[in-house]
Structures are given as structure tokens and as C-alpha cells.
């Protein structure tokens, strides 16, 4: 019975993850807006020459001030720029990592949540208090995140690669190549970079998403407003997606930046950790920077959650006799 919960959750998660992958990619690109990119290599350095002096010659006119930072653009503009600069296929950059991430992370969290929910439910009424649903989500999310973190790091890097200058791109061929390259160049520990953030985010998302879905679905059915069908599943899913997006976006922004940071050999990393990244982000860009990418987050979280739970309910019907 327990294994079936993992299978059902895994199938639904992979379908939902692949169908909403372009929105997830746009979310990552928007979360990285405002973060300083590595400077392109100057032509002189590329030919082994000393760089030009950083000050004007004596008596000469002062150099013009540096250009202002690029204006932040919205969801549609980001998507249009990606398609124009990198092609339509770029919207599915890192989709192999999404499949692996959903296979590891979401299959684990959905299966564990199902087991805990059944174990902690009142056998007489077959119901579970909201507090226990949240606890089940926290536990399931934490374990799932630790299992899926390598695929999560690979996915973020593959999605963000196109925004780097061509000579600085990682150009991973697939999620397997990404994980192998990271292990070889940065050590196996790099696969769990940002894992504390991944765990925190997964706990928040799983607890808010799964608990909200179950709670809203039960409330709708108890009120008699709708029957247990597609309308109820969609309504509960939208509520779950909205709550999960609001709760998780700040953690998601920091997680994206920590996972994507480029660590040069022998140099200090851009961020010393999650707290350092949060402080630097707020100082440089203001507190609302933690809600960067919220529109694509909710745009993705809504459809993702709807596809996830509608698919899950259908898979449960198909596998009910197994």
C-alpha cells in the first residue's frame, strides 16, 4: 500500500514538472535579475596582454560613468528575450534535471506524506487534523529535499546558463553530465550546495501545498458546494498553489542564487551561505527582492499544483484495484 503512494505521487509529479518547466525556467531567470554577473573577459586578457589602466591619461578627459544597471523586465519580456537570443528550445533547458528532481524529490515527499497521513489518521473517522497534516508535510518535504538536492542544483544551473556570457557558460549536456562535472570540478559536496535552503523550502512547500489541498478539499466536500470531482480538485489545487507560492518565494530566491553562484578555485565564493546571500540581496536590492519572480512562481505553482493533483486523482482511480 505504501509503495503505491510513491508510484502515484511520482507519476503525477513528473507530468506536472515537465508541463510547467518553461515557467520554472522564467522564474529562475527573474530571480537572478539584479544579481551582478561575472564581467566578460577583456580582449587584452584573452591574448595574454596586460589590461589597460583603469584611469584616464594625464590631462585627458575623464572616462564616462559606468552604464546604469539593466532595467528589470517582466515575465513576457523575459520569455521573449530567451526565445530571441537562445531559441524556443531554451525554454526547456534543464528539463532532464526536472525529470530527475521530480523522480527523487517529489516521489519521496508525496509517498512519505501519504504514508504519514494514513498512519496518523483517526481510524474511526479516517480524518487528520490540520496540525498533523502540516507536520506530515514538514517531515516528508525535508527527507525528499535531501534526496533530490543534486538534481535541484543541476536544474538551477542548467536553467540559468543562458544568461551568462558565452565563454563562461557551463554548457552541461544533460543532468548526468551536470552532476558528473560538478562532482569532478567542485567536489561531491557541491551537489548538496544550498541543501539547507532546499530542505527549508521543501518543508514549507510540502506542508503548505499538501496540507492546504487536503484541508480545502475536505471543506468543499463537507459544505456540499461541489462533489468529489474535477471542479473540487481544481479549486483545492489553486488554493494550495497560492499558499505554497507566498510561503516559499523568499526561500526560493535565496536558494536559486546560492545554487547558481560560480565559485572560482582559490577565491572566496560570492556568498558565504544562505544568511549572507539574504543580507547582501536585501542591502543591494531591497527587501522586496525576496519576492522577485513571484509572478512566474505563482504562474507556475498554480498550474503545477493543478496538474499535480488532478493527475494524482486520476492515477489513484486507475491504480485503485492494485
Q: Identify the structural domains of the chain with CATH numbers, from first to last.
A: 2-33+73-318 (1.50.40.10)
What is the pLDDT, as a whole number, of residue 51? 47
Asked if 127 contacts 39 with a C-beta cutoff of 8 angstroms, the reply is: no
Give residue for cell 562535472: 181
Q: What would the mean pLDDT of 263-288 be, rounded to a whole number?
A: 89
Q: What is the mean pLDDT of residues 289-309?
A: 88
Residue 203 has pLDDT above 60, yes or no: yes
Residue 42 reports pLDDT greater than 70: no
pLDDT of residue 19: 93
With cut-offs at 50, 70 and 90, classify the pLDDT of residue 43.
Answer: very low
Model confidence at 305, in pLDDT bands (50, 70, 90)?
Answer: very high
Task: Give the tens place of pLDDT for each residue, 160-199.
Answer: 888 888 888 888 989 999 999 999 999 999 999 878 888 9
Which carries the bigger pLDDT value, residue 34 or residue 135? 135
Q: Is the pTM of this model over 0.95?
A: no
- On average, the pLDDT of the chain sits at 86
Do 2 and 117 form a contact (C-beta atoms < 8 A)?
A: no
> What are the tens digits of pLDDT across the range 75-97?
788 889 999 989 999 999 889 98
How much is the pLDDT for 54? 47
Q: Residues 6 or more apart from 69 whose CB is under 8 A from it?
A: 34
Q: Is the pLDDT of residue 244 over 80?
A: yes
Inform me whether the pLDDT recorded for 146 exceeds 90: yes
**By C-alpha distance, which of 290, 258, 309, 294 is closest to 106?**
309
List Cβ neighbours of 60 (8 Å cut-off, separation of 6 or more): none
* Span of 17-21, 178-182, 190-194, 310-314 with lowest mean pLDDT: 190-194
Mean pLDDT of 263-279: 88
Residue of 89, 106, 58 lying closest to 308 (CA atoms): 106
Does the pLDDT value for residue 147 go beyond 80?
Answer: yes
From the list 206, 116, 194, the residue with the least C-alpha distance to 155 is 194
Q: Please check the confidence at residue 63 and state whether its pLDDT lies above 80.
A: no
Report the pLDDT value the prediction gives residue 68, as an integer from 0 to 100.
53
Average pLDDT over residues 65-73: 55
C-alpha cell at 151: 538534481
Q: CB neighbours of 67 closer than 8 A, spacing ≥ 6?
A: none
pLDDT greater than 70 at residue 1: no
Quote the pLDDT of residue 70: 53
Identify whether the C-beta of residue 122 lies closer than 8 Å to the C-beta of residue 40. Answer: no
Alpha helices in 32-74 (DSSP H): 43-46
Q: Decide if pLDDT at 17 tops 90.
A: yes
Q: 58 pLDDT band (50/70/90 cuts)?
A: low
Amino acid at each position: 500500500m505504501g509503495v503505491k503512494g510513491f508510484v502515484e505521487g511520482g507519476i503525477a509529479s513528473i507530468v506536472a514538472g515537465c508541463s510547467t518547466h518553461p515557467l520554472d525556467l522564467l522564474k529562475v531567470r527573474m530571480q537572478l535579475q539584479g544579481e551582478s554577473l561575472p564581467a566578460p573577459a577583456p580582449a587584452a586578457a584573452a591574448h595574454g596582454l596586460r589590461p589597460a589602466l583603469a584611469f584616464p591619461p594625464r590631462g585627458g578627459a575623464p572616462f564616462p560613468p559606468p552604464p546604469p544597471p539593466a532595467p528589470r523586465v517582466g515575465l513576457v519580456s523575459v520569455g521573449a528575450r530567451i526565445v530571441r537570443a537562445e531559441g524556443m528550445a531554451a525554454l526547456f533547458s534543464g528539463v532532464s534535471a526536472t525529470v530527475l528532481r521530480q523522480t527523487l524529490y517529489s516521489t519521496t515527499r508525496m509517498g512519505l506524506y501519504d504514508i504519514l497521513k494514513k498512519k496518523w489518521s483517526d481510524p474511526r473517522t479516517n480524518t487528520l487534523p490540520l496540525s498533523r497534516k502540516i507536520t506530515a508535510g514538514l517531515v516528508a518535504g525535508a527527507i525528499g529535499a535531501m534526496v533530490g538536492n543534486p538534481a535541484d542544483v543541476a536544474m538551477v544551473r542548467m536553467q540559468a546558463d543562458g544568461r551568462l556570457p558565452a565563454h563562461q557558460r557551463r554548457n552541461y549536456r544533460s543532468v548526468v553530465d551536470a552532476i558528473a562535472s560538478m562532482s569532478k570540478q567542485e567536489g561531491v559536496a557541491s551537489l548538496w550546495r544550498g541543501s539547507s535552503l532546499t530542505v527549508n523550502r521543501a518543508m514549507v512547500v510540502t506542508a503548505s501545498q499538501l496540507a492546504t489541498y487536503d484541508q480545502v478539499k475536505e471543506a468543499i466536500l463537507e459544505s456540499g458546494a461541489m462533489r468529489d470531482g474535477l471542479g473540487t480538485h481544481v479549486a483545492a489545487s489553486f488554493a494550495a498553489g497560492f499558499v505554497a507560492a507566498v510561503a516559499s518565494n523568499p526561500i526560493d530566491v535565496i536558494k536559486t542564487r546560492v545554487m547558481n553562484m560560480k565559485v572560482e578555485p582559490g577565491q572566496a565564493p560570492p556568498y558565504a551561505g544562505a544568511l549572507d546571500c539574504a543580507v547582501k540581496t536585501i542591502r543591494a536590492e531591497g527587501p522586496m527582492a525576496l519576492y522577485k519572480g513571484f509572478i512566474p512562481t505563482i504562474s507556475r505553482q498554480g498550474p503545477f499544483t493543478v496538474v499535480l493533483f488532478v493527475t494524482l486523482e486520476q492515477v489513484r482511480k486507475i491504480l485503485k484495484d492494485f
